Structure 1
Amino acid sequence: MMRITMSNKMRSIRLQLDRIADDVKKFNFLLPPVSSIEQANNERGRETYIGARDDVQMVGREKEKKHILKLFQNNGDRESSIIAIVGLGGMGKTTIAKFVYTLKESNEFHFDLKAWVYVSMDFKLEKVIADIISELDGRIIPVKDVTLQHLKSQLENILYGKVYLIVLDDLWEESKHTMKELVDMLQSGKKGSKIVVTTRSENVASTLFDVGSSHFHLVEQIKLEGLSDDECWSIMKPHNLGDDQIIDFVDIGKKLQNYAMEYL
């Protein structure tokens, strides 16, 4: 009886959502613009999210995680490299990067310095370099008051002789000239340093590899595909109920999963 009631409720909710979606298209409703302050706060929140977390727990992507961690091993005997994680929005690019960045085992790979920078579509080289410096040594640099050459000098001094791990999250910039400037500023690190990039665009990854080939080892792009049905169900299923209670919700949960996949 409970299953029937829940199924009817889900069907009712689905119909309501469909009607709302139709109304949005029919009347051309627009979402209110996000203020520059709200946007800055949102981006800053994502940018600083890593420092407040310990190990990130995630379901699936075992193959990709093991591959990246293998690339981290034996840094002293390997070339510095650029590792690009490529996939559509919501595929788990940032989560994988967070996992390997915060994993306690990553400290065993002898990274002297680590930095996480959220880049976004609004790419400004000076801001990216200033944010890297801020992550590495804690200094806040007003971008409008310094030149790119000054930032380059500061970053080179910090990275010189150090094995670093730098994550550039959500990179969109495809300009070869701009990407070459960025890569040139990151070549001062010691052998074994790693740059991990998350991006939705294979062109971004290809551009980075093209301009970085003279300084960095080229690693094949890690392209994320959809999760398997079992992995999706591992995310959907309730974890706070006993086995006897879970049985009653399995059918409903799998129906929800199939419904969600139809709309993704």
Structure 2
Amino acid sequence: MNLLLLIIIFTAVGGLLSVLAAAVFLLLPDRHRAAVLPHGISFAIGALLTVAFYGLIPEAFAKVGAEQFQTLSATILAGILGFFVLEKLLIWRHCHSGSCEAHGDEEAHHAHEAHDHSHNHGHGAKSAGALIILGDSIHNFVDGILIAAAFLTDVQLGIVSSLAVAAHEIPQEVGDFAILLESGYSKSKALFYNILASLSTVFGGVLAYYSLEDLHDSLPYFLALAASSFIYIAVADLIPSLHKKTDMKASLEQIALIAAGVLVIGYLHSVVHHFEAAG
């Protein structure tokens, strides 16, 4: 299949379908949604870390000589620190627009288990909604670039990367929906703006396809940045939310679902590789 078409399809999977899945998820009764969401977060952690350490990082190092290993490692480190700074700036901007409660901690933005507080629907809340849409658009655009970079390196890597993006985007989109609804947006408007923001994933992928093909030597560094993004999201934003539950049953469920994310992505990686080799 044409590589550009694959990029368009799988950036849509990572963006648009995650929005629709989140919209369907919001139709569940509150108690069911609260029970299911942490399981999705646990699975996403395993998926993201597996793609980063099993796919992206080994592929990046395989494409450079030993003399570039230190530079590539520094890129991963710089990426993780850079994503921390970017998220800190976004939180700071939310606080200075009077909407700290809408984005006050990791759960409000990524784990999203605290949607039942009451929010002010005035100027501050509307500003929070607008910032969520803008931030989500930028985030999705970057995801599109990273997915395209993975596809330009190896088709199987592109497929598992897009699936990992979808795995962590669904719980994030659920949270974005909740913030928009609590900011005074109707359900139809919240869905419309989230779909609009998700299209930036496809735009980022198409743009990267036409530009990164001419920057072949830079691809390992884009893969390193993709890995640092996945590692940061999993370790800094998702894992802390799991520590809110400390009982043995919940802990064992978390471990089992993280392991399931690892096994599913690892299995998909090997299946796609097998079909690629056979073709």
Please say whether Structure 1 and Structure 2 have the same fold, judged by a TM-score greater than 0.5: no
Decide which structure has greater helix share: 2
* Rg larger for: 1
Give the structure with the larger strand fraction: 1
TM-score normalised according to structure 1 size: 0.28
